[in-house]
């Protein structure tokens, strides 16, 4: 038979390990996302089609003058060189 002091150590040890297990699982956390290192990537649903753009379909940025009749003039993308201060003019059209 084990002496009482060893039994206490054994119970304490098992309890500590159980606590460590629980804590590690909690740190691993939400849906396993934190447990796999970086979580930036997600697969998208597959089996879909792309394109189908007709002749008037536009997806690119305006040049800075695109304005529907009676509408506001949409701005364009930044035009300054890197390190040269992209702001200045704001890319807004006429």
Partner 1 sequence: MIQSTLSPCSLIPRVLCSVMMFLSGAAVLHAAPSASVVLPALTQPASAEHHVGKVIWADLVTPDVAEAKRFYGALFGWTFREVPGDSNYSLALLNGEPLAGLFQKSQPAGQAQQPAWLTFLAVRDADTAQAAAVRLGGKVLAKSHNYPQRGRQAILADPDGAMFAVLAAQGGDPPDYLPEPGEWIWSSLFVKDPKGETEFYKGLCDYDVYDLASEGESGAQHYILSGDNYARAALNALPADSKRRRAHWLNFVRVTDVADTVQKAVGMGAHLLVEPRIDRHGGRLAVLADPSGAPFGVMEWSDTDSKQEPQ
Residue 5 binding partner 1, by CB under 8 A: no
4 binds partner 1 (CB under 8 A): no
**Interface with partner 1 in residues 45-84 (CB under 8 A):** 45-69, 71-72, 74-84
Residue 81: CB atoms within 10 A of its CB come to 8
| Closest distance of CB 60 from partner 1, Å | 4
Using CB under 8 A as the binding rule, whether residue 3 contacts partner 1 is answered as: no
- Are the C-beta atoms of residues 86 and 77 closer than 8 Å to each other? no
Size of residue set near partner 1 by CB under 8 A? 71
CB of 4 or CB of 38, closer to partner 1: 38
Three-state DSSP class for residue 8:
helix
Which DSSP symbol is given to 6? H
Nearest distance in Å: CB 86, partner 1: 3
Phi/psi class of residue 30: alpha, beta or left (left: φ > 0; alpha: ψ in -120 to 50)?
Answer: beta
């Amino acid at each position: 038979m084990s002496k009482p002091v060893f039994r206490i150590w054994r119970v304490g040890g098992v309890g500590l390990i159980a606590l460590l297990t629980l804590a590690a699982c909690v740190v691993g956390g939400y849906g396993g996302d934190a447990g796999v290192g970086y979580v930036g990537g997600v697969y998208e649903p597959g089996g879909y089609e792309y394109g189908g753009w007709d002749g008037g379909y536009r997806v690119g940025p305006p040049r800075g003058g695109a304005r529907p009749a009676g509408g506001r003039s949409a701005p364009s993308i930044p035009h300054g060189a890197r390190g040269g201060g992209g702001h200045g003019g704001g890319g807004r059209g006429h």
